[in-house]
A = this chain, B = another copy of it.
Amino acid sequence: MADLSLTPTSYLVLGLVQMLEPCTSYDLKRLVGVSIGNFWSFPHSQLYAEPVRLAEHGLLSEEQEHHGRRRRLYRLTPQGDAALRHWLTVPPDGVGELRDLGLLKLFFGSLAATEDVVTIAEAKRDLHDGHLRALEKLHQEVAETATPEQLATMELGRRWNKVAADFWADVATNPPGRGTTDPAT
């Protein structure tokens, strides 16, 4: 166990390799696209760079073609497997942040015109709605092949996008602080 600091990305790669091994970076990319990418995305270049790092530290084994595309084939080493399994036993110590640009804009919304706030809210509502549908479609497609844990993560994604879509719909029809909350009084 070398003293290499593993980032979340590292474990993500270790986990994906475990699911697919032996596999290439492109295999990882495809799997990310239909699974983790829905709640944790990053450019493909990292899926090429990170395995190299992990292999240098003995957590993955690397086998490179000598001809043609010279692509690299990865497998978990026993050390990599151990690191992954150990990581899975440690409870996380914080809650993930929303880091949502729309939310940031809403926070400063008192500076903006009402129509701009409404436009933003409508855009966000539609985006979350779209994601919601995409997730539901995906859920059906992989219901047979995915693990129950993977289906569970999709379920949280579903609930979150539902909550967000509803929230932004609220904001769009009833912008905060614009005095249209109760026309009666």
Which residues of A are in contact with B by a Cβ distance under 8 Å?
A: 8, 11-12, 15, 18, 35-36, 39-41, 84-85, 87-89, 91-113, 116-117, 119-120, 122-124, 127-128, 131, 147-153, 155-157, 159-161, 163-164, 167, 171, 176-177
Contact = CB atoms under 8 A, between A and B. Distances in A.
A111 B35 CA distance: 17
Contact of A92 (B105, B153, B167): B105
Interface of A is mostly: helix
A96 B101 contact: yes
Contact of A40 (B97, B112, B117): B97
Contact of A15 (B36, B89, B107, B127): B107
A41 B99 CA distance: 8
Given A149-B117, A149-B177, A36 B104 contact: yes
A104 to B, nearest CB: 6
A98 B152 contact: no
Nearest to A152: B176
